[in-house]
Amino acid sequence: MIIETPPTDRTAPRLGVNYTPSRGWFHSWLDFDPAAAARDLDAISALGVDHLRVLPLWPILQPDRTMINTRAVADLLALTDLAAERDLDVSVEVLQGHLSSFDFLPAWVGSWHRRNVFTDPDVVAAQARLIDVLGRELAGRPNAFGLGLGNEFGQFAAARHPSAYPLDTAGAGAWLDALLGAAERVWPTGLHQANFDDDVWFADDHPFTPRLAASRGALTVVHAWVFGGVGRRYCADHPALAQFARYLVELARAWSPPGRGVWLQEVGAPRAAHDGRPLIADAEAFLTDTVGALADAPDLWGITWWASHDVSRDLADFPELEYGLGLIDAHNRPKPIGRALAEQAPRIRAARPAPAAGPVVELALAEDGSDRSLGGPESDAFDAWLTERLAGRAPRLRLSTH
C-alpha cells in the first residue's frame, strides 16, 4: 500500500571517513607512529570531511581481562589530538572485534579460555571497564564526540559465524544496556552507539533485532554494503546499488522513534563481491549517486565513508575487494573517488529535505524481528520503494504494525 505524507525537516548531515591507517592497516596500533598518522590525517582533511571513526584493536587495548594497556590508550589519545589540530572530530569504537573479514579477540575469551563475550559476567565487566577508561580520557577532548561498542560486534552471535557465541534476544538487550549504560555514566554528553552489519535488519534469526538497534544508544546506526543481498540480486552498476544506502537509512528510520538520528556509518564502493563477481565499474559515479540519493534523507545524522586509505598490497590474505576501498591510496595520494567525495562535501553541507511530499511504502513486520527478511533487498517492499525512487520520487518506509 502506498499513501502520501510530507517529509520531516532536519539539519544537514555530517560527512566523514572511517580511518584506515596507510601504514600497516590496523596492525599499526602495535607500533603507533604519530608522524605517519599526521600525514594520513593531512590527506583526509584535504578531502573536506569533518569527522573520523577510529578503530583501535581490542586485544591491544586489553590483552588481559584485568590489564588495560596504558601505552595503547595514550596512542589513541595522541591520534585524537592530531585530528583536533586538523579540525576533525572523532568517534572511537571500543571492541574490535571484527574488521574487513578478520576477527580480533583477546586470548582470554578464546580457545582454552573460551567464554561468552556477551553473557559471561566477568567478560562484560571487563568490557565495561575498558569503556570506562576510554570514556574518561576522551570526554575531555573537545573534538571527541562518542564511543561505539565495537565494529559489527553482533556478528559474533550470528548463526553464520564459524565460531558463534550463543545468545538470545534478551541476552543481546542486556549486553547493550550494560555497555551503553557504562558509556553514558562515564560520558553523559557523548553520542554513544552500537552498530551492526545488515543481518540485524534482514536475518530473521539474528538475536540482535531491529528494535534493539533502533532503541539503544544515541543514534540508530547502519552499515550499507552492496556485496550482500542487493549485489546478489542485481547486475553490475544497476541503479539499485547506489540506492541501497538510502533504503537502509529509511528502514532504520522506520524502526526508530520519531526524530531519532540515523548514522550511515559505513558505506563504500567495492568493485567486486566477495565471490569475485563484478559490482561497481565506476566507483566515482557510485559515490556521487549514493551521496546524491542520501542528501535529502530525513533524520540522517551523518555519512561516514569506508575507508580513508587503501589496504597496502604489502599485506596478504585480505579479500581482493578490501585493497581498493580507500579514498586515498597507500602512499597518501588522493584517488579519483577521493576527489569525488571532496566535490560532494559542499553539497552535503547545504543539503535539506526534499520540499515535495513523498509516498509511503508500508511494511507489515513483526515487532520481534522474526520476519524482518520481508523488508530485505529481495522483497516486495524493496521493489515498491525502488520503483518510486527510480521514478524520481522520495518514498518513505513505514511499519504499519507498530
Cα dihedral 293, 300, 281, 317 in deg (nearest 10): -170
Classified as helix, coil or strand, 365 is: coil
Segment 146-203, tens digit of pLDDT: 999 999 999 999 999 999 999 999 999 999 999 999 999 999 999 999 999 999 999 9
Owner of C-alpha cell 520531516: 8
pLDDT per residue as tens digits for the range 211-254:
999 999 999 999 999 998 898 898 888 999 999 999 999 999 99
| Domains in the chain, CATH or no CATH each | 12-357 (3.20.20.80)
Q: In which element (H, E) is residue 255 found?
A: helix 239-255
Cα→Cα distances 236→28, 51, 116, 242, Å: 34, 31, 40, 11
* Count of alpha carbons within 13 angstroms of residue 44, beta-carbon side: 37
Could you tell me if 253 and 210 are in contact, meaning their C-beta atoms sit under 8 angstroms apart? no
Query: What pLDDT is stored for residue 235 in this prediction?
Result: 80
Give 317-376 pLDDT, tens digit per residue.
999 999 999 999 999 999 999 999 999 999 998 987 665 568 999 999 999 999 999 999
**Spatial distance between the Cα atoms of 265 and 196, rounded to a whole number of angstroms:** 10
Please give the pLDDT value at position 336. Answer: 98
**C-alpha span between 333 and 64 (Å, rounded):** 38
Q: Alpha helices, DSSP H only, in 187-305?
A: 199-202, 210-213, 229-233, 239-255, 283-294
d(CA 334, CA 340): 10
Half-sphere exposure of 244 (CA within 13 A, CB side): 31
Q: In degrees rounded to 5, what are phi and psi of residue 5?
A: -155, 150
Q: Can you list the positions of beta strands (E) in 98-219?
A: 98-99, 102-103, 144-148
pLDDT digits over 274-290, tens only? 888 889 999 999 999 99
**Quick one: average pLDDT of 83-88?**
98
What tens digit of pLDDT does each residue of 8-28 get? 334 789 999 999 999 999 999
Q: What pLDDT is recorded for position 9? A: 39
Supply the pTM of this predicted model.
0.95
Using one digit for the tens of pLDDT, what is the confidence trace for 317-334? 999 999 999 999 999 999
